[in-house]
Amino acid sequence: MVNPIKIIDLSSGISFGSINSERFKTNRISINFVTPLKRETVTVNALVSQLLKRGYNGCDNFTMLNRELQELYGAYLSSNVSKRGDTQILSLSITGLDDSFALDDTAITKNLSKILVNLAFNQKVTSGGFKEENFEIEKNALSELIKSEINDKMLYSVNQAMRAMCKDEPYGLPKYGYAEDLKDITPEIAFKQFEEIIKTSRIIIMFVGCGNDSDAVSVFRDAVSKLERNFNVIASSSVFVSKGELNEVEEKMSVNQCKLVLGFETGVNTSSDMLPAMKMACGVLGASPTSKLFVNVREKLSLCYYCATHFDVSKGILLVHSGVEAENMDKARAEIINQLNDVKSNNFTDKEIKDALMTYTNSYNSICESDSALDGYYLIKILDNKMESPEDEIKKLEAVTREDILKASQSIKLDTVYSLSGQEETN
């Protein structure tokens, strides 16, 4: 059983969301700073996110911090940078055993709240900047992280396609920013930006676990009462609009398998009533092993190991991505378009609709089975100010008719074709 979410407004633009469930043996606390995604700040924000998890005033280095976490039964600290529409979200989260599972009487959860508050609001400052000791190392580390995106060709190709589509808008920025920006960032610049984030960003704190959240609430309430805030309301993300001309992007790299990504404009994002219908259309096309893409492109034609859809609801962009042999690129592309045309021309069965619905139902219901999934789901709901539970989402999908799917599918238009293929051998 998962109890309904409880939301407390701690201060202007600062919310505390709490979900209690005795199914977990843990408590997870996260703090999320939601800021506009901008070319000028994308890199420095990512760097700030890396720096925060290294220590705080009174716990000078990460060795001390990690030892502190180990003493708290291996509590797990992580930082994350993500993009959601036209915003960049910096998250710090801590997960630890509930006090009841400690082998002694350690107050794990209260201590974890204090550590998180210290990391977020009590950083050590030397001459107006983040302390310099490890600043260069962290810059190098972020630079390596940015560059290592190419290691995962599947993810890289999807990101490249998305960037090609959104090259003139914020969503086209990479979430960790640009390696070349790093050289100009000083400890002072980074700290100034951090102060700006604390002052102006939308801040959402989440608590998910079996324990009592009252200590966490009071620790955070106390901390945010001291903040000087000038909070900027986050505007909802704009839907992607195609320029009308087909954009073909070809990239060469040392690879064995080619990657093919088709990017479509759908015209439907979180602010549209058509969203459930569009989700269902994408589902019929490629959300499960019984969907059109899997059954036809993989199973019937045996062109690939994977061929799947990814629907970005914040921008209303549909991506279809696959890994294929060079000589099969055109064949795969044609077949993907064929399958989409089948959806558009009402050539899909009631069973395909039902399968898509069942797939979504299972995945929405599964959100409540994991603390991190609950955290992520409700973070977005609080941000969008749409307090719908996973069950509400399922109900909306259940109400979608064949006609709705057909109507939604008509607005899906090919915008970009991205391919990644091997370099010709020169020697």
Partner 1 sequence: MERTVIRNENLGEEYYQYKHKSGLTIYLYPMKKFSSSYAVFGTKYGSIDTTFKTDKENEFVTVPEGIAHFLEHKLFESEDGSAFELFAKTGASANAFTAFDRTCYLFSTTSNFEESLKALVTFVQNPYFTKENVEKEQGIIGQEIRMYEDEPEWRVMFNLLGCLYHNNPVKIDIAGTKESIAKIDDKLLYKCYNAFYNLNNMVIAVSGNFDEERAIGIIEENLKEVEKVEVTSIVPDEPDEIVQKEYVQKLGVATPLFSIGYKEKPLTGKEGLKTRLCYSLIFNAVMGNGSDFYRELYKDGLITTSSFGYQVFDGRGFLTNMISGESQKSKLVMARIVDEFERVKETGIDEETFNRVKKKVYGGKIIGANDVESTALSLIDAHFYDNEYFEEFEILRNITLDDVNRVLRSSFNKDRVAISIVNPA
Nearest C-alpha neighbor of 46 from the set 55, 35, 57: 35
Q: What is the dihedral of CA 121, 122, 128, 129, to 10 degrees?
A: -80
- Out of 46, 47, 368, 382, the only residue in the binding site for partner 1 (CB under 8 A) is 368
**Which of these segments, 160-168, 338-346, 357-365, 410-418, binds partner 1 (CB under 8 A)?**
357-365
Strands 76-84 and 87-97: antiparallel
Residues listed for the chain: 427
In the complex with partner 1, the residue whose CB is nearer, 66 or 271, is 66
Which CB atom, from 24 or from 171, has the smaller least distance to partner 1?
Answer: 24
Site for partner 1 contains 333 (CB under 8 A) = no
* Alpha carbon 214 to chain centroid, angstroms: 28
Residue 296 within binding range of partner 1, rule CB under 8 A: no
| 280 lines the binding site for partner 1 (CB under 8 A) | no
Instruction: Return the residues of window 26-55 that contact partner 1 according to CB under 8 A.
Output: 26
Least Å from the CB of residue 290 to partner 1: 4
Q: Which is nearer to partner 1, 230 or 256 (CB)?
A: 256
Alpha helices, H only, 72-228: 108-121, 135-147, 153-165, 187-200, 214-225
By CB under 8 A, tell whether 212 contacts partner 1. no
Which residues within the stretch 138-177 sit at the binding site for partner 1 (CB under 8 A)?
140-141, 144-145, 147-154
Contacts of 18 (CB under 8 A, 6+ apart): 5, 6, 7, 8, 206, 207, 208, 213, 217
Pairwise CA distance, residues 173 & 43, whole Å: 10
What distance in Å separates the CA atoms of residue 75 and residue 82, rounded to the nearest whole number? 22
Between 86 and 355, whose beta carbon lies closer to partner 1? Answer: 355
| Residue 230 interacting with partner 1 (CB under 8 A) | no
Q: Tell me how far apart the alpha carbons of residues 21 and 192 are, in angstroms, rounded to a whole number.
A: 39
Residue 125 amino acid letter: V
Q: Which of 127, 230, 302, 426 binds partner 1 (CB under 8 A)?
A: 302
Site for partner 1 (CB under 8 A): which residue of 3, 6, 12, 22?
Answer: 22
Cβ–Cβ under 8 Å, residues 207 and 17: yes
Among residue numbers 177 through 206, which ones bind partner 1 (CB under 8 A)?
none
Q: Kindly provide the residue ranges of all beta strands, DSSP E only, lying in 239-329, ordered along the sequence.
A: 247-253, 258-265, 307-312, 317-324
> Under the criterion CB under 8 A, does residue 253 sit at the interface with partner 1?
yes
Residue of the chain from 238, 290, 296, 389 that contacts partner 1 (CB under 8 A): 290
* For partner 1, the closer CB: 230 or 302: 302
Q: Which is nearer to partner 1, 75 or 185 (CB)?
A: 75
Among 71, 180, 248, 392, binds partner 1 (CB under 8 A): 71
The interface region with partner 1, picked from 81-89, 96-104, 180-188, 196-204 by CB under 8 A, is 96-104
- Selected from 7, 8, 11, 21, the binder of partner 1 by CB under 8 A is 21
**DSSP-based three-state secondary structure for 152:** coil
